[in-house]
Chains A and B, each alone.
Chain A
Amino acid sequence: MEQAFIRFEEVVKEYVMGEVHIRAADGVTFSVEKGTFTVIVGPSGAGKTTILNMLGGMDSCTSGRITVDGKEISGSTRRQLTDYRRYDIGFVFQFYNLVQNLTALENVELAAQICRHPLDARQTLVDVGLGDRLNNFPAQLSGGEQQRVAIARALAKDPKLLLCDEPTGALDYVTGKQILALLQDTCRKRGMTVIVITHNLALTPMADKVIHIRNGRVSKEEINTQPVPVEEIEW
């Protein structure tokens, strides 16, 4: 059997807060193929972010196995997780999280300078459509532009995996759509494996694969053989 690019096998994440045990992930199992666009969808509190955090090496799982590109992530040491984040993962957040004191270009270069084979920062920014805003500080950019910088920053590391947590959550409809289009393009043109978390079910047609999460478990997995370009989706 061919090994999937990303595999979650019975992954459990339990938080202990005093005497309360919370199972944010309760036996999650799914797989994602390389170069595909996957949407993880579910209501608030279903455990989507927990799954993404474990996949991104920001958090470890309580039990189960996570493998990425044949490498087991679960059970890594702190240092190994940092290396994993450094070389293999690109993150995009709802609130951009740019360094306020660095220009757009510098923010991208910041990520690029810690990688082994970074992409050209300037070109990456041109690619996300910010060729004329290179030397602007985050505060001088609109929300959509800031998110583009964040995407460029993630891409410049040339990661194996691009993880996006509600990337359009803080953006208006039109801008949100542009960002999703950019992510979809990135997947198609660069062959990048992209995983997007959203609570918006309307987005599911754009994905190659949709993973529905409910109460810390995978409730449904769908494969779209004919993903729709995001421009054609209305919500």
Chain B
Amino acid sequence: MPSHLYTDLLREIRKTRRRFLSLLIMNMLAVGFLAGLRMTSPVMRHTVDRYYDRQALMDVRVLCALGLTEEDVEVLGQQDGVLSAEGSRSFDALAGEQIVTLTDIPDRVNLPEVLEGRLPQAPDECLTEQAVLDALEIGIGDTLTLDTSDARAKNGGEDILSGKTYTVVGTARSPLYITMDRSTTSMGAGTVRGFVAVPKENFTVDYYTTAYLKLEGLEAWNCYTDDAYEDAVDDFIDRLEPLGRERAAMRREQLLRETTITDMMAQMLSSGLSAVDLGNAKWYILGRDTVESYLTFSVDSARMSDLADVFPMIFFLVAALSSLTTMTRMVEEQRGEIGSMKALGLSDGAVSFKYLGYALAASLTGGLLGLAIGCTLIPWLIYYEWTQLSYLLPSAEFLLYPSVVLYSLGLAVLATAGAAWAACRSALRAVPAVLLRPRAPMPGRRVLPEYIPFLWNRLSFLRKVSIRNLLRYKKRFWMTIAGIGGCTAILVTGFGLRDSIFDILRWQFDEVTVYDAEMGIREDIMRSEQVNLEHFLAGMPEIGDSLRCRKETVDVIADTAGSRKQVTVENVTLLSFSAAEAERTEPFLHLQPAADGLHRDGAASLSIPDNGVLLDEKTFELLGIEPGDPVILRDSEEHTYPAVATGGCENYVNHYLYMQDGYYKEVFGSAPARNTMLLRFSEGPGGTGRLSAEEQDALAQKLVDQPGVQSFSRIDSMRTRFEASMGNIDAVILLIIAAAAALAFLVLFNLTNINVTERLRELATLKVLGFYDGETASYVYRENIFLTLLGTAAGLFMGRWLHRWLIHTIEVDYLLFGRTIHPKCYVYAAVLTMLFSLSVNVFSFFYIRDIDMVGALAQKQE
């Protein structure tokens, strides 16, 4: 191949650097965005998995209500496949006013990572989390005092800890708790602040609450992504079950022996271990997937991965379309040169070299840059945002999947170079003589509006030309509409997605489940206790209203006897009310008819049926049933009961099933035992609004102290938890919006660029005729503006559709996202698109102004 072909290629790039750069940047954006988003979830999971490995997070834990003995732990350690086993104690305790998880400092499993300070060395030193220090307003070197009365009470009155005052020597994070948000506890008000870890010798109990096991050879796998990991753990758990039964029985006997030996009086105490139903003492052998923070991360990263699967593809398509147009145009512009090359006797390959080389250079350089930037910046940014918002994790560790590199880069190169190749092929098929002859200009032709003289005659020439141009160059017309429309659609979707996600929290907690708190009541509560409790509630000024009900968790199965596939919706919260209570649900629950993911103010409310169950909208949709269809309810013991679903009601978060006691009895065969009270706070003294956080904490404490009350939880804390989790996705969406904006700008820039270069000659002619710069530019602008308007309008429709599709794709089972886009999202997207279009036009004004008339007109007509 003649070496001057390289020279030609390099000079071509230099000469057309605007086009080359826009092609390069477009490829960079497309590849970077696609690969970056696709790698985000893997990077997150990789980082967290490595963190787990470093800190030796347990693979399996064994829990037993009766506790585990030293010997249990030893036996566990001797099991096949166990790398190490360690017994651990963990209790709820109070540090000042704050609830903390009191635990021991492990030696082998679940190692805390010290962030500041050091590990405790003396028995009266402790390690804790920054959040605990912040809440207590103390620092490292200060002391904290623990109140373990709750644990003592549960331990039959014997204290569990010798020393109570500890010097904080360091802060740490633990692989067991990677979320900032901690579980609520049965112990009084509010949530756990964090852990306080003290040396083992401080504990005075002779049993462990949990045994943690680390298994051999699992570190090579990623616990979030490799099925092999889960299989290995499941296998191990299955093998351990018989041992579990054996050891639990031994423990039961040992305890029974101890109780007979010890003073009979001790047995009379109605609390502590001896109060636990000894027959119920079994081993719970569980994997990581039952650790709350492990699971939260799993769900969050999965949502990230779903989003990354779908969204960048659309983005990629728009960029690819634009690259394709650019390359096709370039080859068409140079057909004369292609002809002379062919006439010189160069092979087809040598002639195509320049164009393929151009496309390859732009797409490869752009793609590689995109990979370098996208695969580091995007995961880093999103991960950083996550860890800022709701996770306690080390900084990101990067990795790159060759498959992601290959297909993102491959697709980009294929789109750009493929277009060049296809255009070259069609040009090369012609004989040189045809190519050398100037291409017959696309003949002027009358267009439809000309046959409406009434309109046509009123138009000025430039308008006439614009209309003819628009209607005649159909390829460019559609390409432009698709490009601009695609960008608008992505913007609409980005903005809409944000609303869809955040709306539902507002709707769920302000419009649907409007009660403030839920109180768990012992099922065997005595009548007198219940009466006392109600009296107590009535006497509390903070409580506005309360409603008793039955709450349990069931699975709902579509009863489709004939069909092949059985749909099951798991973890549906069943609430059953008596006929009288059902009349009073309105202040606690606003049940409105399902409206396809849109809250409608003031819609008529639904009442809870007495001859069927009312399901939430999402369950109803997932099951794919019609009102009046049969469903099957499955309780926690796997018993199934047929029922009838009367309809769906508005609901966004979690699944709910509402029914009346009469029907409950009909379905389950027994009357429902009351176990829950829904509470509404009063509007506060003087009607100044809801209770403050402190007032709520105090109230919670008072309530859980009442006999018969088992637990208390505020709806607010659930809302906060959801908000934190949704906050994670916000960073991604903002990134999408930013990237869509950049792409929109580029696509418009490119299209305008093509439009201008195609018209170079015409524009030069106008300039020679004496058109002012503004008049010349408006010749192009008029079309651009029209195309932008039309493209934007098309994009708004496409966005609506894309948004809906995306919502369906990324929606998790237990959530129903808003399906409707706010009008303001359309406005934002449209305004942004037009703003970009405007700035591109301003930019091209200077280009048009500087067109070299002489040069443009001296060329032959092409």
Contacts and interface: CB of A to CB of B under 8 A. Distances in A.
Contacts of B765: 97-99
A102 B464 contact: yes
A54 to B, nearest CB: 10
B853 interface: yes
Interface of B: 440-445, 460-461, 464-465, 468-469, 472, 761-762, 764-765, 767-773, 775, 853-854, 857-861
A58 interface: yes
B772 A82 contact: yes
Nearest to A89: B770
B854 A58 contact: yes
A86 B769 contact: yes
Nearest to B460: A113
B592 to A, nearest CB: 58
A102 B444 contact: yes
Contacts of B444: 100-103, 137-140
A83 B770 contact: yes
Given A86-B769, A102-B464, A97 B441 contact: no
A184 to B, nearest CB: 23
A113 B443 contact: no
A98 B762 CA distance: 8
A213 B406 CA distance: 62
14 contacts: A85-B770, A86-B771, A87-B770, A89-B770, A91-B768, A96-B861, A97-B764, A100-B441, A101-B465, A101-B469, A102-B464, A106-B464, A114-B771, A137-B444
B445 A137 contact: yes
A53 to B, nearest CB: 5
A109 interface: yes
Contact of A49 (B461, B768, B858): B858
A110 B461 contact: yes
Nearest to B771: A114
A97 B761 contact: yes
Given A79-B772, A95-B860, A114-B771, 7 more contacts: A82-B771, A100-B441, A101-B465, A101-B468, A106-B465, A138-B441, A157-B769
Counting from the closest, the 6 A-B pairs by CB-CB distance are A86-B770, A137-B444, A139-B443, A85-B770, A101-B468, A97-B765
Contacts, number: 88
Interface string A50-84: 00010010110000000000000000000100111
Contacts of A99: 465, 762, 765
Contacts of B468: 101-102
A226 to B, nearest CB: 34
Contacts of A138: 441, 444
A106 B461 contact: yes
Interface residues of A, number: 36
Contacts of A4: none
A58 B768 contact: yes
A93 interface: yes
Contacts of B771: 82, 86, 114
A3 to B, nearest CB: 25
A181 interface: no
A137 B443 CA distance: 7
A118 to B, nearest CB: 12
Contacts of B442: 100, 139
A111 interface: yes
A97 B859 CA distance: 10
Contacts of A95: 857, 859-861
B440 A110 contact: no
B768 A139 contact: no
Contacts of A56: 768
A58 B860 CA distance: 18
Interface string A10-33: 000000000000000000000000
B472 A101 contact: yes
Contact of B769 (A49, A59, A110): A110
B461 A102 contact: yes
Contact of A109 (B461, B772, B773, B858): B461
Interface in A183-212: none
B857 A93 contact: yes
Given A86-B769, A114-B771, A140-B443, A102 B853 contact: no
A114 B462 CA distance: 11
A34 B460 CA distance: 35
A113 B465 CA distance: 14
Contacts of A109: 461
Contacts of B472: 101
Contacts of A139: 440-444
A122 to B, nearest CB: 14
Contacts of A113: 460-461
Given A99-B465, A113-B460, A85 B858 contact: no
Contacts of B769: 85-86, 91, 110-111, 114, 153, 157
B770 A97 contact: no
Interface in A97-142: 97-103, 106, 109-111, 113-114, 137-140
A49 B860 CA distance: 15
Contacts of B770: 82-87, 89, 114, 157
Nearest to A137: B444
A83 B775 CA distance: 13
A4 to B, nearest CB: 24
Contacts of A79: 772
A157 B769 CA distance: 9
A58 B764 CA distance: 10
Interface centre among A89, A100, A103, A140 (most CB of B within 10 A): A100
Contacts of B469: 101
Nearest to B776: A82
Nearest to A110: B461
A97 B773 CA distance: 19
A14 to B, nearest CB: 15
A102 B761 CA distance: 14
A97 B857 contact: yes
A64 B310 CA distance: 66
Contacts of A103: 444
A234 B158 CA distance: 129
Nearest to B440: A139
Interface centre among B444, B773, B775 (most CB of A within 10 A): B444
Nearest to A97: B765
Interface string A136-157: 0111100000000000010001
Contacts of B445: 137
B854 A59 contact: yes
A203 B460 CA distance: 41
Contacts of B465: 99, 101-102, 106
B461 A53 contact: no
Interface centre among A59, A84, A86 (most CB of B within 10 A): A86
A83 B854 CA distance: 17
B441 A53 contact: no
Interface centre among A53, A84, A96, A110 (most CB of B within 10 A): A110
Nearest to A98: B765
Contact of A85 (B761, B768, B859): B768
Nearest to B862: A95
A135 to B, nearest CB: 9
A95 B854 CA distance: 12
Interface centre among A56, A91, A109, A157 (most CB of B within 10 A): A91
A194 B373 CA distance: 62
A12 to B, nearest CB: 17
A58 B443 contact: no
A157 B768 CA distance: 12
Nearest to B438: A95
A56 B854 CA distance: 11
Contacts of A91: 768-769
A49 B768 CA distance: 14
Contacts of B761: 97
B443 A53 contact: no
A53 B854 contact: yes
Contacts of B764: 97
A53 B460 CA distance: 30
A59 B853 CA distance: 9
A113 B443 CA distance: 24
